[in-house]
Structure 1
Amino acid sequence: MTTLDATATATAATPATTAKLDRAAFAREWEDWHRDHETRRADPHGFLAVTAIHWLDETPTRYDGVPGNWWTDATGPVVELDDGESLVAADGTGITGRHAFGPIVERGGVVVRAGDVAVEVARRGGRDIVRPRDPSNPYLARFTGTPTYLPNPRWIARGRFVPVETAREVTVGSAAEGLQHVYEVPGEVEFELRGETFRLVAFNGHAPGTLTVLFTDATSGLTTYAANRSLEIDAPGADGGVLLDFNRAVNLPCAYTDHATCPLPPAGNRLPVGIEAGEKTPIERNVADIADVAGIV
């Protein structure tokens, strides 16, 4: 998680305040954070190991690299394993024959094992999916790290959280064609950056009380990934103060693989300025796009 100090004042980090920072310590802390982030990203069963995404329907179907026939119905995903086939549940229990996973909540999922392959059974955009995660995936082996801008305190913005009076939901698009996601919106984050005031719609973050903003900016599609970037914000202070450290803006899985269902930013979350901070477009994605255009793959 980002280590941030919340403050009530909706002003950008000024030369006077940033001058007080130990820039060497700031850079070391950022480097440690990003190294940890990349390590988790390159986990042998992380999303870089995903080899395919299979959308389940009511027709039993067998998929390459995954044992059994898979389908879904009103009760949730089901797998029918042939004699000699098996899976292993997260608790180590063996699975054979017919196994019903039961209803899976939106953005939830379970993982079972087929040898070294982790099989993710999940629900995204109202549909059940199966995603194999194979540690031997060549894409994972090719991963050399994510390019970034150099960390710079000028991209730290102070602001405030503006909660909505009545909880509401917003529907956003997805990196997966035809899919939509619905998120609860607790409010907006207002902040000032380089003399201008902006607002971004915020979602609930991964930890209780924290916030997540998805955004694009003037660098999107140029030096940064075109579809989205994400920024985690620590829980607002008692006075609503927050701190946005854009040096910690990161890519979502769709920046690396076509087997992702990442949400797109809400309407209005496109900043008209270039946020020259945080992660850039992955090298592997650039190479894949060039090869595709050239007809190599």
Structure 2
Amino acid sequence: MSTTDDARQAWKEWRERRHEKVSAPYGPLALTATHWLADHPDGRLPGIPGHWTPAPSGGAVLLTAAEEDGLRLDGEPRPLAGQALLGADGTPATARVALGDRRLLVMRREGLWAVRDFDPRSAGRRAFAGIDAFGYDARWVREGRFRPYDRGTRTVAVENADGKERGLSVAGELSFTLGGESHVLQAGAEGDGSLWVVFADATSGVSSYRFRFLYPSAPDGEGRVVVDFNRALLPPCAFADHFICPFPPAGNGLPVAVEAGERFALTR
């Protein structure tokens, strides 16, 4: 089998894993609501029992519930009757509070607390029929180079999917060539050293979603990194309206049509 065939097979397997992750019981399709506590000063969240307020210390959420509310904490068989301090959860599947099959994930963004409602029986999950993607093409695998900023990460203001402007952390510039032309994208850095890019291109909003994410592996000691647009991802907000995905920062719009990677979420 040739190197290209190996890469194509690896891409197919990656696509299968991606489909499984998106369609999982508590994947992005299961998100039905995001409730910001600041929007509900009385502590009552739509469709969710209990009383949810920021704790006086500011470092947690104070949940007050009665047994008849049916909120279970930390997998306990009996519903919570009293109060609990909740920090930010990691993933929906490990969220501390459950309501039947639903998982109520506590999150914190820019100093504000919110509760996300993940329901494995959501309409979005029931309607999901897969992810449409461009076919694999080795021409979209490019060697790039990452140059971190001299003074560490920067924060740039970008619009988010909910219409609000927020800060996006970027750690440096990722450069590569396409069609003989040089391009540079601002990239963030994950905890393991891998990169994260929000970008748009000439297909965005036409033959693919309005913007996409890319997660190149960590650069080597000389800053070299493989940029594989075949693995460009749809952002979470392409699957559920309640995500607040960041739009691409200024300069992260490529003038070429990147006909690679995921295009749209399909429904039945």
If asked which structure has higher relative contact order (CA below 8 Å, sep 6+), I would say 1
C-alpha change, 1:101 and 1:179, in structure 2 (3 Å) is farther
Equivalent residue number for residue 175 of structure 1: 161
Instruction: For structure 1, list consecutive stretches of 5 or more residues without a partner in the other structure.
Output: 1-19, 288-297
Report the number of matched residues: 260
Residues 1:122 and 2:107 are matched in the alignment: yes
Does residue 278 (structure 1) correspond to residue 254 (structure 2)? The answer is no
Ranges in structure 2 where 5+ consecutive residues have no aligned partner: none
SS at match of 2:13: helix
3-state secondary structure, aligned to 1:84:
helix
CA-CA distance at 1:90 after TM superposition: 4.2
CA distance in 2 between partners of 1:141 and 1:179 (Å): 32
Once the 2 structures are TM-superposed, how far is the Cα of residue 281 of structure 1 from its aligned partner?
2.1
* Contact kept in structure 1, 2:199 and 2:252, CA below 8 Å: yes
Aligned-pair distance for 1:82?
2.3
What TM-score comes out, normalization by structure 1 length?
Answer: 0.80
Q: For 1:210-225, what aligned pairs fall within 5 Å after superposition? A: 210-225=194-209
Letter in 2 for 1:52: A
Whether the aligned pair in 1 keeps the contact of 2:53 and 2:62 (CA below 8 Å) is yes
C-alpha separation in 2, matches of 1:189 and 1:158:
10
Task: Please give the alpha-carbon distance, in whole angstroms, between the structure 2 residues aligned to 1:258 and 1:125.
Answer: 20
- Calculate the TM-score normalised by the size of structure 2: 0.89
Aligned to 1:59: 42
Structure 2: distance between partners of 1:43 and 1:92: 23
CA distance in 1: counterparts of 2:194 and 2:239, whole angstroms: 25
Superimposed CA distance per residue, residues 25-54 of structure 1 (whole angstroms, 9 cap, x where no aligned partner) = 222111100110110111101120111111
Per the alignment, residue 247 of structure 2 pairs with 264
Conservation of the 8 A alpha-carbon contact between 1:174 and 1:181: no
Q: Counterparts of 1:26-175 in structure 2 under 5 Å?
A: 26-57=7-38, 58-64=41-47, 66-72=48-54, 74-90=58-74, 92=76, 95-102=80-87, 104=88, 111=95, 112-167=97-152, 168-175=154-161
Identity %: 34
Task: Say whether the 8 Å CA contact 2:35–2:45 is kept in structure 1.
Answer: no
Secondary structure of residue in 2 paired with 1:230: strand
Cα distance in 2 between the residues matched to 1:60 and 1:283: 36
